[in-house]
Amino acid sequence: MKRFAAVLAGTAALAALTGVQTASANPVGVTVCGTPGVPNHVTVKACININQGHVYAFGRATPYSATWQDQQVSFQLTTIGITNPALGTVYPTVLIEANGPSQEIGSVTGDVPCGSQVTATFTVTQPGWYPSSSTVSTVVNDC
């Protein structure tokens, strides 16, 4: 009887585990990123994630110098494409920490018709710094 109960418990645990694995195996989309911009105190990179026609555009920023000190930095993320709601531009200012990892900055989202092209440009706009930007374009095929 104890063996039977153990088998039932093992089967229930396996079923629960299989259910969790199935739920977490949902596609999270494909992310493409542009070439990093010219380092200008921080290195910037524009990225777009596409998941079944839904677009999520964002930027990444990484301190360029080992002598970097925590400071607020201004950016611009512009995304264009045929979408509903319309994609647009955001102007985030975020704290970039010394020795920190690459940070995801800003977000622009929207639903895009299959086969359309989306372009995102991520630019550092900090006063007194020369502009540095990264651009990425991709066609939405994941529909």
Q: Which 3 state secondary structure label does DSSP give 84?
A: strand
pLDDT, tens digit, for every residue of 91-121? 999 999 987 788 999 999 988 888 889 999 9
**What's the pTM?**
0.76
Residue 67 belongs to some domain of the structure: yes
- How many structural domains compose the chain? 1
d(CA 36, CA 124): 12
Domain of 33, in residue numbers: 28-139
Residue 22 belongs to some domain of the structure: no
d(CA 43, CA 64): 6
d(CA 20, CA 14): 10
Residue 114 belongs to some domain of the structure: yes
Residue 36 belongs to some domain of the structure: yes
pLDDT, tens digit, for every residue of 10-64? 333 333 322 222 222 334 789 999 999 988 899 999 999 999 888 999 999 999 8
Q: For position 70, which CATH number holds?
A: 2.60.40.2420
pLDDT, tens digit, for every residue of 56-101? 999 999 998 888 899 999 999 999 887 655 689 999 999 999 877 8
Residue 19 belongs to some domain of the structure: no
Residue 87 belongs to some domain of the structure: yes
